[in-house]
Structure 1
Amino acid sequence: MKPQSLAKIKAFLKRLAVVGIVFALLAGLLQLNNVTKPSLVNTDGRTFTKAVVTDILRDNVQENGSRIGDQIVALKLADGTEVTANCPNGLLFGTVCEPGMSVVVIASKTGSLSSYTVYSYDRMTAVIAFLAFFCLLLMLVGGRKGVKSVIALGATFACFLFFFFPLLMHGFSPIFAAIITSTLILSLTVFLICGPTKKALAAGLASFGGVLSAGIAAEVFGRMAHLSGYNVPNIEALMFVSQNTKIDVGGLLFAGILFASLGAVLDIAMDVSAAVTEIHEENPEKSERALFKSGMRVGQDVMGTMAATLILAVFGGSLGTWVLDYVYDLPFLQLLNSNSLDIVIMQGLSGGIGVILTVPLAAAFSALLLRHALVSSKQSETAKNAKISEA
């Protein structure tokens, strides 16, 4: 058989193998998502629908400008039906209706009786518009890599929705599921943005090490401070979920810490790996030690701001708790030993530890992989020249 024919057969078999692997993964993913969610809340006869406020039949505004009680409003539903609805006066539920406003309505039907309650302002247009603006801005500024970043973000969301959550429903440990999902997200993100390069491999390995370091740090801190996933504020609702599903709610806290540190760790790993790669391309003869030192210097410049970014993000997410503690002027001993505050401290510090340890990992992996690639290239070139000389 001719060499060209053999090459075509090999190429066809490779494509066939890739297609087979893809179909196997899709089949496994479909099977994984075959979960039965328990009915934790009775929703029989209740639906959500869009509507437009046509009139305010009874307002709830008082002479002093405050609102007490509920509004009674006339609505036109999405199917054209005109109904009367109750609009609660709440900060978390309901809204202040005005004619022409788009709202979301809860339609409750019991037998032949139907009642309608305004759930909230219809925010779908605002959410979609802002999301579209974000993606467009990322693509315009980032160019081709911006497009890949948008795809990577979509893939990340899909990993949570179609992989991480089903794993929890099947009874997998949240920490184990988070490690697998983090690895998958890292691999997809780095591959989409950088392609199959040494820089991508170094950043991916360093990111995995950094995220794992953050998880280990959180576990050690939790054991030393006697904190667990059962000390979170919404534990009562989570315990109810755990009684009706296979979800281990105790591990969700530490799984969340892994995901919270993922973005910052990946960012600094990519910065260091990209810098070392650039230095290596400018001066390929630089030794592993010199490349490592260069990566460390770049990482040290970024490390402080990145750790501060992560801690500030955690602080901002729990700002309401900090404000309450400050206003009530709670004693220092009480604050330092409160579950909510210690969990925030654990999240911030363990994520910061992951960011710090990512720097030497990224510098080391980049230096080793780049130098190894250069040595292998030189050896191949020498062997090729030797064969030419013999011929």
Structure 2
Amino acid sequence: MNALLWLAAILFILMILVGGKKGARSFISLFLNFGVLFLTILFMTDPSISPILLTFIACTLIGFISLFYINEVNSKTVIAFISTMITIVILLLFIVIVTEKSMIQGFGEEETEGISAFSLYIGVDFVKIGASVIIMSTIGAIMDVAISIASSMREIFNHNPLISRKDLFTSGVGIGKDILGTDTNTLFFAFFGGYLGLLLWFKDLSYSIGEIVNSKVFSAEMVTILCAGIGIALIIPIASWINAYFLVRTREKSGNV
């Protein structure tokens, strides 16, 4: 516990030194987002409530906290929020289908020993729970790309206010291409870092490559990474188009065509 407090204190001090007031709000937002996730998990155990609806509400609240609370309400955060929610809606529909078809919901055989003492008759739809887990795993990366594109395109527009909508959109997509590779690699290495112990266990148990790839634990995480990558790829043209439309529309309304 002391180690956790020390690490939290070091993080808080560094965020204050680097980010000032925004750094302090970023630190507080970690606990606010944790509260949203905790409440979502509590309500998700109620069979009468749709996990997909809960996930959408949770993503909306996380978006409000991460974008509006940290960066305040302005045109950049509003556009990033709209872009994020559009992408989340598209992903929700896609991921529910993928989860059902790939049958990655529930627990793998490697986890059965740990849950053998508990009842599995909890009355919730594990397909929707699995889809919710994937969405929750992607929301952070999607928001990160959305605000990065919005900020960058705003700077391009400020330095070249007569730029056409098409050129501005192309610039946004070009920025997104640079972000796409780094973010997808971040998700990939986060999986292998978090599941390195499991992979070593697979090696000790003499799992073949085919058994590892087809195990539910491994497959579920790979589907999460791939769906997150799809979300990152989707948000780039969506955020670029919305930003280009809004910025040029604002210029036209002001009469500086």
Which bracket does the TM-score occupy, shorter chain normalised? 0.7 to 0.9
Measure, in 1, the Cα distance between the counterparts of 2:119 and 2:135: 22
**Cα offset for 1:377?**
2.7
Query: Cα 1:198–1:361, aligned 2, differ >3 Å: closer, same or farther?
Result: same
Measure, in 2, the Cα distance between the counterparts of 1:128 and 1:270: 30
Q: 1:92-131, aligned counterparts within 5 Å? A: 124-131=1-8
Measure, in 1, the Cα distance between the counterparts of 2:21 and 2:128: 38
Measure, in 2, the Cα distance between the counterparts of 1:135 and 1:176: 33
Measure, in 2, the Cα distance between the counterparts of 1:215 and 1:202: 20
**Cα offset for 1:134?**
0.8
In the TM superposition, what whole-angstrom CA distance separates every residue of 1:74-123 from its partner, at most 9, and x where no partner exists?
Answer: xxxxxxxxxxxxxxxxxxxxxxxxxxxxxxxxxxxxxxxxxxxxxxxxxx
The match for 1:218 is 95
In the TM superposition, what whole-angstrom CA distance separates every residue of 1:322-376 from its partner, at most 9, and x where no partner exists?
Answer: 2222344423332332212211211111111111111111111111122222222
Stretches of structure 1 that go unaligned for 5 or more consecutive residues are 1-123, 380-391
The match for 1:174 is 51
- Paired positions, count: 254
2:136 maps to a residue whose letter is F
Q: 1:232-247, aligned counterparts within 5 Å? A: 234=111, 237=115, 240=118, 243=121, 247=124
In the TM superposition, what whole-angstrom CA distance separates every residue of 1:188-245 from its partner, at most 9, and x where no partner exists?
Answer: 221123322221112112222334444444333333323323558546749946646x
Q: 1:192-341, aligned counterparts within 5 Å? A: 192-229=69-106, 231=108, 234=111, 237=115, 240=118, 243=121, 247-341=124-218
Query: Cα 1:210–1:151, aligned 2, differ >3 Å: closer, same or farther?
Result: same
Query: Cα 1:231–1:378, aligned 2, differ >3 Å: closer, same or farther?
Result: farther
Measure, in 2, the Cα distance between the counterparts of 1:152 and 1:232: 36
Give 1:347's match in structure 2, choosing from 224, 234, 241: 224
Measure, in 1, the Cα distance between the counterparts of 2:45 and 2:102: 29
2:77 maps to a residue whose letter is A
2:207 maps to a residue whose letter is L
Query: Cα 1:210–1:136, aligned 2, differ >3 Å: closer, same or farther?
Result: farther
Measure, in 1, the Cα distance between the counterparts of 2:124 and 2:213: 30
Matched, 1:158 2:35: yes
What is the percentage of aligned positions where both structures have the same residue? Answer: 26
Matched, 1:146 2:3: no
Q: 1:14-93, aligned counterparts within 5 Å? A: none
Q: TM-score, normalised by structure 2?
A: 0.87
Question: Does the 8 A contact of 1:212 with 1:354 survive in 2?
Answer: no
Stretches of structure 2 that go unaligned for 5 or more consecutive residues are none
Matched, 1:376 2:238: no
Query: Cα 1:232–1:279, aligned 2, differ >3 Å: closer, same or farther?
Result: farther
Measure, in 2, the Cα distance between the counterparts of 1:211 and 1:135: 30
Question: Does the 8 A contact of 2:99 with 2:127 survive in 1?
Answer: no
**Cα offset for 1:174?**
2.1
Question: Does the 8 A contact of 1:230 with 1:250 survive in 2?
Answer: no
Q: Which has the higher contact order (CA 8 A, sep 6+)?
A: 2
In the TM superposition, what whole-angstrom CA distance separates every residue of 1:156-182 from its partner, at most 9, and x where no partner exists?
Answer: 122123x31342244322222111101
Q: Secondary structure at the match of 2:255?
A: helix
Q: Secondary structure at the match of 1:153?
A: helix
**Cα offset for 1:299?**
0.8
Query: Cα 1:228–1:176, aligned 2, differ >3 Å: closer, same or farther?
Result: same
- Provide the alpha-carbon RMSD of the alignment: 2.5
Q: TM-score, normalised by structure 1?
A: 0.59
Matched, 1:190 2:67: yes
1:167 maps to a residue whose letter is F
Structure number with higher strand proportion: 1
Question: Does the 8 A contact of 1:311 with 1:352 survive in 2?
Answer: no
**Cα offset for 1:266?**
1.1
Query: Cα 1:309–1:238, aligned 2, differ >3 Å: closer, same or farther?
Result: farther
| Structure of larger gyration radius | 1
